[in-house]
Amino acid sequence: MSSSASDVAPRRPLLAGRGLLWEAVILAVGVGLFFLFPYDLGFLSRILIMIVFVLSLDLVLGYAGVATLGQAAMYGTGAYAAGLIAIHVTASPLLGLAAGAVAGAGIAFVSGLVLMRAHGLTLLMLSIAVAQVLQEVANKARPLTGGADGLRGIRMDPILGLWEFDFIGRAGYWYVLTVLILVLLFLKVVVNSPLGLSARGIQESPERMRAIGTPVYWRLVWIYTIAGGIAGVAGALAAQVTALVSLEVFNFDHSAEALIMLVLGGAGRLYGAVVGVAIFMLVEHVAAAVDPFNWLFLIGALVLAVVFFVPAGLLGLPKALTGLVRR
């Protein structure tokens, strides 16, 4: 038995790669921002939540290569689940978060059973359709969801019974930052696990993966489900921090914007999502504050510049620059 074990390649440690350097940097930056910008915690929390959401898309698109424009379906489901739990069952933030994750994963699993059989444009259209159907369901279920007025009446208990959500957003910020770091660590485990590695393989060549005996369809369904759970967490965070859920959580724009941010940062790298969201939302925030009426021009120019000059995203910038110098 021991001899057969030695034939197998050594197991990669769960948190393989360059150690935990990146996570440590992100944590340090997150803590630093809290003290540097004590008056912008609401905005900073929105960035962190968006990062969680884009990370979920990164897992699907960047790692498994599944092009989808319907990630908002899981985000929205998570948001409504967390909101409804808070109103009708328990106002505990952590249970709400769990409900968001379960709801997001559930919707992803069910829709994934269909979606993962499709490819390319068909998949794209179907993924949009799922989000639109859910949006109309939420609109019709007015007595439950409040319809277009939004789901109101969410009052969260203190986190772990200790930290109350204050209107400056301090408790909310620490809460969201902690969840983000945990999600990053979890995703690092996932992408380095056999499941994550086979997802990469599927992105590069589904045929070859099938030939070596990988159940491609089911691997994709699981990846999609895990990503759905994370998107659900992001939605739940937004619902808890804002204390209101609107139908727009299911918006197409929401999925599309996440995609733009991911492309901006660089898909297929967990830190690409972090960098892309941070830069996009920062530019947007500053530009919109300076000129609230014309700022969209700047955002458009930024996205075009990245797509034309650094197609691999901003994380590909150093490589692109060294390539330029060597030439």
Residues that bind another protein (CB under 8 A): 38-43, 45-46, 49, 139-140, 142-143, 146-150, 152, 155, 164, 166-169, 238, 241-248, 288-289, 292-296
Distance CA 207, CA 217 (A): 12
Question: Of how many residues is the chain composed?
Answer: 327
CA 29, CA 44: separation in Å to the nearest integer? 11
For residue 242, the minimal CB distance to another protein (Å) is 5
173, 60, 197: which is closest to 124 by C-alpha? 60
Q: Closest Cα partner for 61 from 124, 129, 128, 17?
A: 124
CA proximity to 260, closest of 232, 240, 283? 283
DSSP states along 291-317:
-TTTTHHHHHHHHHHHHHH-TT-GGGH
**CB nearer to another protein: pick between 198 and 255:** 255
Nearer to another protein, 119 or 142 (CB): 142
- Rounded distance, CA 31 to CA 211, Å? 47
Question: Which one, 149 or 323, has the nearer CB to another protein?
Answer: 149
Q: Which is nearer to another protein, 25 or 148 (CB)?
A: 148
Closer CB to another protein, 158 or 206, in the complex = 158
- Residue 14 or 141: which CB sits closer to another protein? 141
Query: Which stretch of DSSP H or E encloses residue 262?
Result: helix 252-265
Residue with Cβ nearer another protein (220 or 233)? 233
Burial of 294 (0-12, 13-18, 19+ CB in 10 A): exposed
Question: How far apart are alpha carbons 310 and 315 in whole angstroms?
Answer: 9
Do residues 174 and 241 lie in contact, with contact meaning Cβ atoms separated by under 8 Å?
no
Kindly tell me the sign of the dihedral angle through the C-alpha atoms of 186, 188, 193, 196: positive
- Comparing CB distances to another protein, the nearer of 22 and 157 is 157
CA–CA dist 195, 216 (Å, integer): 10
SS3 45: helix
Least separation, in Å, of the C-beta of 234 and another protein? 11
